[in-house]
Amino acid sequence: MKKIEEYVRSIPDFPEPGIIFRDVTSILQDADGLKLAIDSMQDCLKDVDVDVIVGAESRGFIFGMPIAYNLHKPFVLVRKAGKLPCETIQRSYDLEYGTATIEMHKDSIRPGQKVVIIDDLIATGGTIEAAAKMVEELGGEVVKIVFLMELAGLKGREKLADYDVESVISYDGK
């Protein structure tokens, strides 16, 4: 059986020279790779007491939804601003050039709920830090954050130092 790393396509010099792009689509396009990715991420939760799975747009939806389904837990969307139809809370965070804003429904997390956040990749950590702060603002407790891949060279874990963070694959570079 192949290891999850073998399903990841690495593309040198994208989007700019010196960067190695770790392509998640090569995992999604292979049934065995997709199953291994979901199972590996879900294994990170085997001893975690969780009430709700949260996924960040958009690849957090891809990986978080099947985990929520398998665990028979509700799934909550974190989306880009302006995409959710009901009353929301928002949080902005810094990008390399500028800022971005994400939001979630105000009624999506109840006080005291134990929340796991799922995403495909941790780079600088800004998106998931913002998502975690929104969960806490609604009274939830972030009990774990799970990523499929981590670009350790970008030090995103430092922003998430207050949380239990686990990555299935970690790459030293950027």
Average pLDDT over residues 89-105: 92
Please determine, for residue 96, whether its predicted confidence score (pLDDT) is greater than 90.
Answer: no
Whether the predicted pLDDT of 19 surpasses 90 = no
From the candidates 6, 22, 96, 166, which is the catalytic residue? 96
Task: Check 59, 79, 141, 166 and give the catalytic one.
Answer: 59
Q: Is the pLDDT of residue 1 over 90?
A: no
Each residue of 61-81: b (16+ CB within 10 Å) or e? bbbbbbbbeeeebebbbbbee
Q: Is 59 a catalytic residue?
A: yes
Closest CA to 139 of 168, 173, 107, 161: 107
Number of residues in the chain = 174
pLDDT at res. 120: 97
Q: How far apart are CA 8 and CA 21, in angstroms?
A: 10
Active-site residue 5, yes or no? Answer: no
pLDDT at 150 over 90: yes
What predicted TM-score, i.e. pTM, was given to this entire model? 0.95
